């Protein structure tokens, strides 16, 4: 199986898992707080760290399996896992200013663009 197919299959599975887990948790705990998304994001952040350290660094799994699990499955499950992994790597490499720019840019600019997109949608 090629890398692209591995990513596509993993992404489809991860997206479905995200949808059903988030929906289940929101139905169970209510919608006053986005607990489903929070748990999905935090779970994804944990598993991307686990998969990278164990499967990539210790077991040296194939490129296809790595692409399926990390890029596909966890990328489809949550993009937050990629964000946390990339932020962690910047810290590990001592790139503190790059980390701060990435962290603040992603969160603050992302929120600003969501606000902008929302208002453009209301204007259309």
Determine the Cα–Cα distance for residues 33 and 86; give it in Å rounded to an integer: 27
* CB distance 48 to 56 below 8 Å: no
* CB distance 14 to 73 below 8 Å: yes
* CB distance 71 to 7 below 8 Å: yes
On whether 37 is known to bind a ligand per the annotation, the reply is: no
On whether 78 is known to bind a ligand per the annotation, the reply is: yes
Q: Which residues are annotated as a binding site for Na(+)?
A: 75, 78
List, as residue ranges, the binding site: 75, 78
């Amino acid at each position: 199986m090629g890398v692209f197919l591995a990513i596509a299959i993993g992404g489809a599975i991860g997206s479905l898992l995200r949808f059903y887990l988030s929906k289940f948790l929101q139905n169970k705990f209510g919608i006053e707080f986005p607990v489903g998304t929070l748990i999905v994001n935090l779970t994804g952040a944990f598993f991307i760290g686990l998969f990278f350290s164990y499967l990539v660094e210790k077991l040296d799994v194939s490129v296809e399996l790595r692409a399926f699990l990390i890029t596909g499955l966890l990328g489809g499950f949550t993009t937050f896992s990629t964000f946390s992994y990339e932020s962690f790597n910047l810290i590990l490499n001592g790139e503190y200013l790059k980390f701060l720019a990435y962290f603040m840019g992603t969160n603050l600019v992302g929120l600003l663009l969501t606000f902008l997109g929302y208002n453009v949608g209301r204007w259309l």
